[in-house]
Amino acid sequence: MTSILEEFAYGNLSPEVRSFRYDSDYEEVMRVLSLNEERLLARLNEEEKRLFENYIGTQKELNKLTAVGNLVYGYRLGLTMTAEAFVGMEDLFQNG
């Protein structure tokens, strides 16, 4: 059995790829979002559609950057909490 770190290193695990239940709140919001996107695209001309697609692409990039930042922050916070549990707050941040 390989470790989680090995699976992550080989690209078999990704913090971006997640599944969801089809009877969840997430699924319902995605359904409404998709329906609204279809309705909006049906009303736009070609130039407006290109502008909207550019907007969507930029929003996806921002969401990706936010997700990565949150993952790194959460991981560091978790490690700090774990370290404090083992050595105590006073030893964790000693002025050398």
Would you place residue 24 in the very low, low, confident or very high pLDDT band (cuts 50, 70, 90)?
very high
3-state DSSP helix/strand/coil % of the chain, to nearest 5: 75, 0, 25
Distance CA 40, CA 48 (A): 10
Distances (CA, A) of 55 to 1, 52, 60, 81: 43, 5, 9, 38
Task: State CA 59 to chain mean position distance.
Answer: 13
Rounded distance, CA 46 to CA 21, Å?
A: 35
* pTM of the full structure: 0.64
71 φψ region: left (φ > 0), alpha (ψ -120 to 50), beta (else):
alpha
CA angle 46, 48, 51 (to 5 degrees): 110
| Span 44-94, pLDDT tens digits | 999 999 999 999 999 999 998 898 888 889 989 999 999 988 888 777 776
